[in-house]
Structure 1
Amino acid sequence: MKSIFIVLSVAVILYSPKVYKFFKENVHKIPKASFEEQLTAFKELGYTFNKEIDKHDLLYLYNEEDYEAEPYSLLYYTWAEIADTKDKPISNNCWHFDYESIENKGDYVDIIKNLERISDGQLNFTNVQDNIDFDNETAWVSFDINGTHYKYDLTFDNDWADHVLFENIQALTEKYNTKGKFTVYSLGQSVVFDFMTETKLQNFKKVTKLDPKWL
């Protein structure tokens, strides 16, 4: 798992400026709220920090003025990130993913494990394997869940992840009738994945004025 966090930490350094620019140029205006008000709102919505994480890890990535300039949207993105100084996810409630990040064997395994991580224990994948053959331009991922083996042949597109994989995982939430389903909040070429019930999604939209969609 440590390798997952190292890769994602590097991604924060490389892609955070792009994401922040996206907020400045594309996020619709949302009523102002102080950093502490936003933090309280997220906690009341059920968002929690992982062990040894606190608000200072959020403020290490951006300052209060940044969060207040783009209320809720920047905080949501950061909540889904890696704590730079602790090499671990800030939270298991959501996950920031850049679609242009398939570079090595194991990257699709990391995707499956991160989707499992934010699923509130409702999806449990075992025997997760993948192969990414850059020479022959092929890729696949396989895993077991609920006693059934799945293998998906994926579209190879250099370092871009195959969107269909995420749709297939969402289909499994329907098949196995999980209480939550995956949502996606677009940040351009990257997204924040979340796992919500219909009630949680509507409450989230009401409080934050953000508009995540069902995956």
Structure 2
Amino acid sequence: MKLETQLAKLAELGLILNPDITIEDIIYAVDRHDLEQKPFELLLFSFGSEVEREPWGRRICNRVWNFDTECIVSTGDYVKIVQNLCLLTGLPDALTDIVDYIDLAAGECWLEYTIQDKRQHWTVDINDDWADMLTLSYVMEEIQHDGCQFYALDNGQAMILVYCTPAIASKLGDLCDEDLEPVIPA
């Protein structure tokens, strides 16, 4: 399926390229032929990534994130994760004053943030360098709104996270020929 057709179908579901992103940015990292031979799944992976050329730090789509869950090394890692989750919801400032502390050797890890003038503190379980998905599911539950929720496509040690309605998740699953699973079971 032509890349442009895939992009149009995703756009119908509300998944669009960020304003400064072009098709050339996508095919710089993933061959057009591969994207067209394995429609939607590779494109969703690309949507969840950053452009792999200058200027650096540009996300392809703010509604999708390729979340490598083996990413906890030092203080600040949970802050980055939570900021990405907020960005997916379209409310990058849903949580404020986000702070974490990570000392894997000492076995100490926690996450704090403010939501609607309430300070939230989580003691985070440590499992080597893997993110604590239970704690992150609590964060996700707090920031979900407007009938949308977090869905995931398994990607090995990573997951492609999409923030959308159940109906859109079902349509994406049909396009990818694989069900998107809710991160927080109903």
Q: TM-score, normalised by structure 1?
A: 0.78
Q: Equivalent residues in 2 for 1:55-134 (5 A)? A: 55-85=23-53, 86-87=55-56, 88-121=58-91, 124-134=94-104
1:205 and 2:170 matched: no
User: Structure 1's 126 and 200: CA in aligned 2 closer, same or farther, altered over 3 A?
Assistant: same
Unaligned runs of 5+ in 1: 1-32
Structure 2 letter corresponding to 1:110: K
Could you give the per-residue CA deviations for residues 43-83 of structure 1, whole angstroms, max 9, x where no partner exists? 22211222321111110111111112221111101111001
2: distance between equivalents of 1:143 and 1:48? 29
CA distance in 1: counterparts of 2:142 and 2:177, whole angstroms = 29
In structure 1, what residue type is equivalent to 2:4? E
TM-superposed CA distance for 1:202, in Å, is 2.3
- Larger helix proportion, structure 1 or 2? 1
The offset of 1:122, in angstroms, is 8.3
Deviation at 1:173, TM superposition (A): 4.5
Q: Report sequence identity in percent.
A: 24
> Which whole-Å CA distance do the structure 1 matches of 2:61 and 2:51 have between them?
9
| Residues 1:171 and 2:135 aligned together | no
Q: Which residue of 2 aligns with 1:161?
A: 131
Segments of 5+ residues of structure 2 without an aligned counterpart are none
User: Structure 1: how far apart are the matches of 2:146 and 2:109?
Assistant: 28
**Equivalent of 1:183 in 151, 156, 165:** 151
TM-score, with structure 2 as normaliser: 0.89
Aligned residue for 1:38?
6
CA RMSD of aligned residues (A): 1.8
